[in-house]
Amino acid sequence: MMAPWQQEVLDKTLAIAAEGRLGHALCLVGPEKMGKLDVAQQLARALLCQSPKENKSACGECRSCVFIKAGTHPDFLDITYEANEKTGKLYTNIVIDQIRRLSQWFSLTPQFGGAQVAIVHPADGMNYAACNALLKTLEEPSQNRFLILVTDRPGALPATIRSRCQRILFRLPEPSQSLDWLRQRGYAADIAWPALGAARGHPGLALDWLEHGGLQIRREVQADMNAVAANKMSPIELAQRWLGDDQADLRLQFAADLSLEAAAQLQGMPKLVKSGLTAPPDFMKLSQWYDALNRVRSQLDSPIRSDLLLAGLLREWRSMQH
């Protein structure tokens, strides 16, 4: 069952399609974990369905729906990160060869005699060469050929691609709707509300953290930052511990979020939850520290010694308290 915000976006997009106003290239844009890919897949099913319902959604029973459910529909193509044949690990980019295959596939006659639909996700994962190859496809639209891009980071796509796509926007729902959705998944309000607050009203993130222990990591990060501020923990030891496993990015995200929440509280901005940090009473310093931490976060996969950079920021965090 789709979340209310997913269903709302799907219904609006199908209504646009029914009016004949759906572009050949769409870009589904919004925060991560909002279910954009699920909506893209439902839209693909609807566009390929041979007997759509009155609201233009897929019937789920026709030959086309059966094939797409089985993952064998010849007129549907899914483009995403591929695995390295030698290591089995996923590549970190969508490459030009994949987009060339997409272009060649679009040149074929649809085997079911209807539409062709391709989804590229995450679209911001395309490298420079792949983007250039896709641009050629976008410049030569064909009837009943639909390309659906899905991205959390539309700014990472070239403007030449964004300008050629019809934008389908996902917005965060009202807090009350998000809370109801979390409660329907078995989380009481006194548990769901703090998670929703920590996620800045983002229900998908809140659910992910509730299911996978993210809130406990957030509490640990908060305690660590307060310990460093009180000179009870070594910045270099903490930096190495934070970066020592596959939760490094999440810890830095939480540290940045907590500092941002502390800055917002200094400005008197309303928040769903308080940061709980022992934070310096200087809005500009907090904002600069937030930006610097996010730069370190963006360099985690680079050869740069992130532990030394992070330790320096943690020392700065301590000095900012005095």
Strands (E), 80-161: 116-120, 145-151
Q: Give 294: exposed, middle or buried? Use CB within 10 Å, 0-12, 13-18, 19+.
A: middle
Which residue, 134, 169, 204, sits at the end of a domain? 169
Structural contact between residues 262 and 226, judged by C-beta atoms closer than 8 angstroms: no
- Residues 8, 157 within the same domain: yes
In-domain check, residue 283: yes
Residues 101 and 17 in one domain: yes
CATH of the domain at 115: 3.40.50.300
Q: Which pair of tokens denotes residue 144?
A: 């009943």
Asked if residue 130 and residue 76 are part of one domain, the reply reads yes
pLDDT tens digit sequence for 113-160: 999 999 999 999 999 999 999 998 899 888 899 999 999 999 999 999
Residue 136 lies in a domain: yes
Domain count, the chain: 2
Q: Do 73 and 127 have their domain in common?
A: yes
Distances (CA, A) of 202 to 24, 38, 63, 130, 140: 30, 17, 37, 31, 37
The Cα 290–Cα 101 span in angstroms is 42
Question: What's the confidence (pLDDT) of residue 274?
Answer: 53
Q: Of 169, 201, 226, which residue sits at a domain end?
A: 169
Calpha distance 14→165 (Å, rounded): 16
Question: What local confidence, expressed as pLDDT, does residue 282 receive?
Answer: 73
pLDDT on residue 76: 98
Claim to verify: residue 155 and residue 217 sit in the same structural domain: no
Do 221 and 159 share a structural domain? no
In a domain, 202, yes or no: no
Q: Clarify whether residues 129 and 274 are in a common domain.
A: no
Asked if the structure places residue 192 within a domain, the reply is: no
Look at residues 143, 49, 139, 147 and name the one whose alpha carbon lies nearest to residue 102: 147
State the pLDDT at residue 230: 92
Residues spanned by the domain of 243: 213-319
Confirm whether pTM is higher than 0.85: yes
Question: Based on the domain organization, do 281 and 160 belong to the same domain?
Answer: no
Number of H helices, E strands in the chain: 14, 5
Mean pLDDT of residues grouped by 10 in the chain (322 residues)? Answer: 94 95 96 96 97 93 96 97 86 94 95 96 97 93 93 96 97 95 96 92 95 94 94 96 94 92 67 54 82 93 91 92 68
Q: Within 10 Å of residue 165's Cβ, how many Cβ atoms?
A: 22
Domain-located, residue 206: no
Same domain, 15 and 163: yes
Same structural domain for residues 217 and 165? no
What is the domain-level CATH number for residue 252? Answer: 1.20.272
Domain finish residue from 111, 144, 169: 169
Closest CA to 45 of 27, 71, 23, 22: 71
108 and 226 share one domain: no
Q: Could you tell me if residue 143 is inside a domain?
A: yes
Q: Is residue 191 part of a domain?
A: no
220 & 156 share domain: no
Tell me, yes or no, whether 247 lies in a domain: yes
Q: Which two tokens mark 263?
A: 């800055």
d(CA 166, CA 25): 6
